Structure 1
Amino acid sequence: MQHNGPQDENSGSQRKRKRWLNFEGAWKKLYEVRWGDCGAQIHSISWLAKQFEAKHELRDDWQQMYWERHLQNCLDAAAEIAMVPSFSDGIGVIKIPATIVRCIGYWEHMNSSACDYSKFSDHCQHFGLYARRLRLPSALCLPEICDLLRTSNLETLEIHWIKLKDHVDGICELLKQNSETLKSIEFVHCKLSTSFIDAICDSLWIKGLKTHGIEHFSIRISNFLDTSSSTLPAGLASFLSSGRCLSSLSLSDDHLRRNFVEMILDVLFDSSSNIAALDLSENYMSGWPSHFKWTSRPGKQLSSGIGKSLQSLRVLNLRNNNLQRDDVDFLKYALVCMPKLESLDLSDNPIEDDGIKNMMPYFVEMSEKPFSLIDLKLGQCELTFNSVSQLLNVLSRWKKPLTSLSIGENNLGSKIGALLGKFLSKGLQSLDIDDIILVLPAFRKHKMK
């Protein structure tokens, strides 16, 4: 029987959507049975993940997630073999373990099937088109990987342990191949010379355009080999200054020193990007860039063209950088350039009571404004009751109260209990007070109901 008309077309569309939903449920079940979790295999920073989902209205595609996770299992298995010193073949011919092949039901047909799925290249050929988020160890960062993943449209790429020119050459080709779709790239445990950094950054430009589409760029637990230079690698400087899409930059635990960080901040201060999250934690930045003291003042209105990137900053992580009290004195001038800042992490820095006192004029001035800061971390900063009590008094007067405060692992003594109890009634939702002594009766008396 033939069906015509809009009503039949709508009915057909509904049936197709119902079948699609049924298949989605089946793919989800297969995913859960095989891996036992519904989490992504590569986790971006939580702030970036939330922003990306909100911007792109992501929805679960369980078939895509299943084959992407399967391909990542194949990549990890191939890397283990390729890392053996005696391995000398191409990575495409690496045999995938039977435990993985059995999971997709092809082990029984390997001798009769035209494509037996025993080789790494077979899995890349058939499932590469599902790959959006992948993690690559250095052993697979070879020119051959570009051909193996030629059907992929990578959006997120995490790269581990590159330290040789061959690794960089291979990964640069893959970056060029995916420059139009790539949004997030992260380097972990890498050794990067100036020439390596330049080559990587140059590979991220979209063909025919003088810009890139990278939103999140991260280098962590790595070594920059030429940080003593008086200039930034040209490729990195150009990348930071020309990426209007760049919203998150992480250079964490990279053994960076003051001069290198200062050059990074100088580029960001004058760039056209809209950085919203900046992570410079776990470096060595003692001697905070003092030029901020001369370019800004609390209460001074910033022009729209000055420090555009810092004006858009919402998350700043400076944890464990050996910042001293004088560094914090300069920091308050830098914060003036960040009117939208929501989260500030200064934990694990020995700023002491004088450091908090140096920042107090800034906090006092902000109490008169609809300040955006809602998350403040000052754990393990060698603070005492004197400075923290003053800080709590100032913070309690803010028009827009904090929602999260961390002051744990400081020697605050028992007297802080009553003040914390009162402060909780101001709208605080999260309070970290690990390893400080409290007078429990006083704290209970004022705790939020």
Structure 2
Amino acid sequence: MSGDPSLYSLCVKTVTEMITNGYDHLQDVLELPPDLLDNLVMNLPPLALQTLHEMLNDGCIGGYRTDNAIHGKKRGRYEYFNMGWNKLFNKRWPDAKKIEPIRYMTTDESAEVCNSVNCTADWQQLYWEKHLQECLDGAAETALLPGFYGHIGELTISDSIIYSIDSPRSMIDECMKLSYHCNRFGCYARCLRLQNVLCSGETCELLKESKLQKLTFVRIKSKTQVDGVCMLLNHHRETLWSLEFIHCLLYPTIMNQICNSMSKEESVIHGIRCFSIKSSPISESKSSSISSGLLSLLSSGGSLASLCFYDTRMQPKFAKMIFDTLLGSSCGLVTLEISDNNLTGWLSQIEEKSTNFSSLLGSEMSMKSLKVLDLRGNNFHKDDAKDLCSILARLPNLRSIDISDNPITDEGIRYLIPYFVKALEKASPLLNIKIENCNLSGMGVIELLRSLPPLKEPLNMLSLADNHLGCSVAATLAKFLGNSCVKELNLEDIELGASGFQELEELMPRETALSSINISKNRGGIRTAHLLSRLISQAPNLVAINAGANIMPPESVPIIQDALKQSKGNLERLDLTGNSQLCLSNYTSVLQEFCHHGKPIVIYPSPPVSGTPYDDDP
């Protein structure tokens, strides 16, 4: 029968059970002929492969491989084991995001702060780290129940997680507990996200063998939880370089306690490179004080490269204190985000002619290293835009700026035009500009685009999304596509309409440098398909297009089909979601034929629900 197991699969199953149950002669397995051992490695479940892997590594420490332990034949054998772990990882988490093999800070000219060095990923480490995160998340769900009063380490791991590493029938009862997984696999953990209920002295003990580099804490609010956070930070302060707080209460006294726990012995200097506070208040509503510990952390962080304050209910005077502290620090800050904080008038407090501002920005101890600035959603108005200009002019290495969700209007953008002109003419020019939802009109954007000079270096990204520009901006946009060599353009919901699409199509340059464009939510109708046809044929580097929610009729499908036939094969994604009428075309199925490396290019819209009247209102 076709369903009967093969002799080989029965052998693998037997060896697996022997390994898992503590076979006394595991060295015999490692002495198998290379082809048999390699095939066995590629077919073992995770727990059995882990046991065998530990046997291979004479120099393992608590189950964790050390580079000095692998050489000669062992180096080659490890590489094959690594392939086995890669296979297991992709099988268990097929939709996992791109993995960073090595996690430490580097900087480059593209203004990215955290980059991975080109080297082989340690899939064993990545596998057990992600496994342990699942165990901790499951434990947190149970521990959050009102009736839970036991020890965190005694919590039972779910059957689904156990089945993913081995068959429960072959595991002893001790393996079902969280403590087993922390003790066995905790040494592989480098990046963890901990819910508030897990922040305790017990968890610190469970993770004592970990060499944590990145910690994210969620919903820290009580004193007990804060004490647990401090214990964890103090224990891992030698290896920790990234720290993030989400939905926490970080009032001054709490922040002081947390910051003090990170100080190394006999020194206030810390090794934190990425520090982030998101959706967490840093001051009480009626208090006028800010954490001295936080300011000390910012001033003493010689390695600090990325800083984020998102939705922290920051007051303008606090923003000024933080900015002044950064100006006086010796850190080489690369990325700064202060967003969603309602800081109207903050920038006016940093006067261009003030002694402190001028001297610090003119010295080496400043933010001259800053490459990414995110000021999204701070309720800046036109006057704030004017004040921003004097600050931006003194950031010579800035490569990316985001001032979206600030109602600066056309008057505000006019204040910023001289800065954009100069910033794009520099030897190291501005590469990324986001001006989304800033209450701009077509007139203001036309003035901006016409003012920009021919670029020495292609503009990486420009986003004008969610501004009501209208069709009048189409001709200027077409000319800009030719002059700027922009790679990524976001025109989502700018009210181009069918006439704007038609004009953009007719005036588009013969060839553009576009690699990605978003023209969604513009009510382009059939003209959307014609514009897509021109884009596909005249943008040879185009990889991604978002044309969703444009009220495209069924007649659009043959036009898109013809365009895809003429494509040079670089297009990877064409998003047509939100155009439900396309499903009524008799030719929709033919779009499924177009693939890139085996994956469909076209992302289809959902069909209209039967009986629901068609409404073209967005």
Name which one, 1 or 2, has greater alpha-carbon Rg.
2
- Alignment correspondent of 2:399: 342
Whether the 8 Å contact between 1:288 and 1:328 is mirrored in structure 2 is: no
Q: Say yes or no: does 1:413 pair with 2:475.
A: no
CA deviation vs aligned residue, 1:352-405 (integer Å, no higher than 9, x gap): 011011223333444553352111111111111222112112223454452211
TM-score normalised by structure 2 residue count: 0.65
Amino acid at match of 2:414: K
Q: Say yes or no: does 1:35 pair with 2:75.
A: no
- Alignment correspondent of 2:589: none
- Alignment correspondent of 2:386: 329
* Bigger Cα displacement from structure 2, 222-231 vs 255-264: 222-231
- Alignment correspondent of 1:92: 153
The whole-number CA distance in structure 2 between the counterparts of 1:103 and 1:440 is 51
Amino acid at match of 2:97: G
Q: Say yes or no: does 1:79 pair with 2:79.
A: no
| 1:13–1:180 CA distance, 2 compared to 1 (3 A) | closer
The whole-number CA distance in structure 2 between the counterparts of 1:41 and 1:207 is 34
1:156 to 197, 202, 214: 214
Identity %: 39
The whole-number CA distance in structure 2 between the counterparts of 1:258 and 1:236 is 16
- Alignment correspondent of 1:317: 374
Higher relative contact order (CA 8 A, sep 6+): 1
| 1:57–1:231 CA distance, 2 compared to 1 (3 A) | farther
The whole-number CA distance in structure 1 between the counterparts of 2:423 and 2:168 is 66
Whether the 8 Å contact between 1:231 and 1:263 is mirrored in structure 2 is: no
1:233 to 291, 296, 318: 291
Q: Say yes or no: does 1:443 pair with 2:504.
A: yes
The whole-number CA distance in structure 1 between the counterparts of 2:159 and 2:235 is 31
2:122 to 61, 70, 74: 61
| 1:412–1:103 CA distance, 2 compared to 1 (3 A) | closer
1:194-273 mapped onto 2 (5 Å cutoff): 194-226=252-284, 229-273=287-331
| 1:224–1:303 CA distance, 2 compared to 1 (3 A) | closer
Secondary structure of 1:28's counterpart equals helix
- Alignment correspondent of 1:9: none
The whole-number CA distance in structure 2 between the counterparts of 1:205 and 1:375 is 36
| 1:360–1:293 CA distance, 2 compared to 1 (3 A) | farther
| 1:83–1:41 CA distance, 2 compared to 1 (3 A) | farther
Secondary structure of 1:436's counterpart equals coil
The whole-number CA distance in structure 1 between the counterparts of 2:166 and 2:443 is 67
Secondary structure of 2:193's counterpart equals strand
| 1:368–1:404 CA distance, 2 compared to 1 (3 A) | closer
- Alignment correspondent of 1:285: 343
Whether the 8 Å contact between 1:161 and 1:189 is mirrored in structure 2 is: yes
* Superposed displacement of residue 138, structure 1: 0.3
- Alignment correspondent of 2:201: 143
| 1:94–1:366 CA distance, 2 compared to 1 (3 A) | closer
Amino acid at match of 2:241: K
Secondary structure of 2:351's counterpart equals helix
- Alignment correspondent of 1:387: 444
* Superposed displacement of residue 234, structure 1: 0.9
* Bigger Cα displacement from structure 2, 179-188 vs 364-373: 364-373
Whether the 8 Å contact between 1:42 and 1:135 is mirrored in structure 2 is: no
* Superposed displacement of residue 332, structure 1: 0.6
Amino acid at match of 2:508: H
CA deviation vs aligned residue, 1:200-240 (integer Å, no higher than 9, x gap): 11122233433111111111011223365444311100100
Amino acid at match of 1:108: R
CA deviation vs aligned residue, 1:412-444 (integer Å, no higher than 9, x gap): 222211111111112111111112244334322
Secondary structure of 2:216's counterpart equals strand
Secondary structure of 1:424's counterpart equals helix
The whole-number CA distance in structure 2 between the counterparts of 1:436 and 1:212 is 46
| 1:35–1:364 CA distance, 2 compared to 1 (3 A) | closer
* Superposed displacement of residue 65, structure 1: 1.0
- Alignment correspondent of 2:6: none
Amino acid at match of 1:223: P
1:169 to 198, 207, 227: 227
Coordinate RMSD, CA, aligned: 2.7
Amino acid at match of 1:358: Y
* Superposed displacement of residue 50, structure 1: 5.6
Q: Say yes or no: does 1:377 pair with 2:434.
A: yes
2:184 to 126, 130, 139: 126
| 1:158–1:40 CA distance, 2 compared to 1 (3 A) | farther
Whether the 8 Å contact between 2:100 and 2:121 is mirrored in structure 1 is: no
Secondary structure of 2:418's counterpart equals helix
CA deviation vs aligned residue, 1:301-327 (integer Å, no higher than 9, x gap): 98652661x211111111111110001
| 1:39–1:409 CA distance, 2 compared to 1 (3 A) | closer
The whole-number CA distance in structure 1 between the counterparts of 2:73 and 2:113 is 33
Secondary structure of 1:135's counterpart equals strand
Amino acid at match of 1:380: N
Whether the 8 Å contact between 1:135 and 1:159 is mirrored in structure 2 is: yes
The whole-number CA distance in structure 2 between the counterparts of 1:270 and 1:330 is 20
Give the aligned length.
430
- Alignment correspondent of 2:554: none
1:292-303 mapped onto 2 (5 Å cutoff): 292-295=350-353
The whole-number CA distance in structure 1 between the counterparts of 2:97 and 2:312 is 28
The whole-number CA distance in structure 1 between the counterparts of 2:160 and 2:343 is 48
Whether the 8 Å contact between 1:41 and 1:69 is mirrored in structure 2 is: no
Amino acid at match of 2:114: F
Whether the 8 Å contact between 1:288 and 1:330 is mirrored in structure 2 is: no
| 1:334–1:58 CA distance, 2 compared to 1 (3 A) | farther
The unaligned stretches of length 5 or more in structure 1 are 1-11
Q: Say yes or no: does 1:70 pair with 2:131.
A: yes
1:402 to 459, 464, 472: 459
The whole-number CA distance in structure 1 between the counterparts of 2:451 and 2:112 is 31
* Superposed displacement of residue 340, structure 1: 0.7
* Superposed displacement of residue 94, structure 1: 1.3
- Alignment correspondent of 1:4: none
| 1:274–1:192 CA distance, 2 compared to 1 (3 A) | same
